[in-house]
Amino acid sequence: MSSESTQSSSAEPSFTPEQVEVGRLAFARPWRFVLGVAKLVQLPQNDGIEIAFAGRSNVGKSSLINALTGQNGLARTSNTPGRTQELNFFTNDDITIVDMPGYGYAKAPKGQVEAWTRLVYSYLRGRPNLRRAYVLIDSRHGIKDTDQKALDLMDQSAVSYQIVMTKADKPRGTALEASLERTRAAIARRPAAHPEILLTSSEKGTGLAELRAEILHL
């Protein structure tokens, strides 16, 4: 079994080997950083597939982007929470990935948090080619209060979003399934949430093939 195959779980969608291969090839093309956007007037034009990743500070967004694209230095990883303060755009000319500012950093000034929130909300509401937003949740901790607020913002923006649980290799025993069940319950009544949850591990490669296939079939 490939290191990028998912562990068996009812949370994950099923894809044919052909669909998985299409996703692999699409993401294997060279990627590059386009720009960081702090104001909406800076948004680049894009007519292709665009997806966005959101999540708490240090949930593993940059690591997941690097693992998906196969380019370790594409998105900067940092042990300093709240480092991503802009909408960072990456593309391979067919697909565009947007790394949104991490939320939930307790030491971030209130004004900064409000500015991030306005930027993200305006982007989500005003980006017609955005196919889906992926909200990353640490599988060790599940959905926290700050995540609930982010999901509220997604619902208010009326953008389709899907939960991606990161670091799925870390919980032990039945802890992963318990976290998964709590997450399912938390999104059950959210109108814009996709019902299927993706399990991933950037370190082990878990779920990457399925996530690529999911993106290509939006």
- For residue 145, count other CB atoms closer than 10 A to its CB: 8
Read off the pLDDT of residues 142-181 as tens digits, 9 standing for 90 and up.
999 999 999 999 999 989 999 999 999 999 989 999 999 9
* Residue 12 belongs to a domain: no
pLDDT at 13: 62
Does residue 35 lie in a domain region? Answer: yes
Contact 166, 136 (CB under 8 A): yes
Residue 137: name the closest of 78, 199, 89 by CA: 199
In a domain, 9, yes or no: no
Do the beta carbons of residue 11 and residue 63 sit within 8 Å?
Answer: no
Q: What is the CA radius of gyration of the chain?
A: 16
Between CA 108 and CA 86 the distance in angstroms is: 14
* Cα–Cα distance, 99 to 39 (Å, whole number): 15
Count of alpha carbons within 13 Å of 131, Cβ hemisphere only? 15
How many domains does the chain divide into? 1
Alpha helix segments (H runs only) across 70-207: 110-125, 145-157, 175-187
Please name the residues in contact with 174: beta carbons below 8 A apart, sequence gap of 6 or more. Answer: none
* pTM, two decimal places: 0.89
> Quick one: pLDDT at residue 105?
65
Cα 205 to chain centroid, rounded: 15
In this structure, is residue 10 part of a structural domain?
no
Instruction: Tell me what pLDDT residue 89 has.
Output: 94
CATH number where 110 lies? 3.40.50.300
> Is residue 137 in a domain?
yes
Residue 7, domain member (yes or no): no
Backbone dihedral angles phi then psi of residue 193, each to the nearest 5 degrees: -80, 130
- Domain range for 116 is 17-216
Which tokens in the block code for residue 156? 């208010």
C-alpha dihedral sign at 2, 14, 188, 81: positive
* Residue ranges for the chain with pLDDT beneath 70: 1-13, 77-84, 105-108
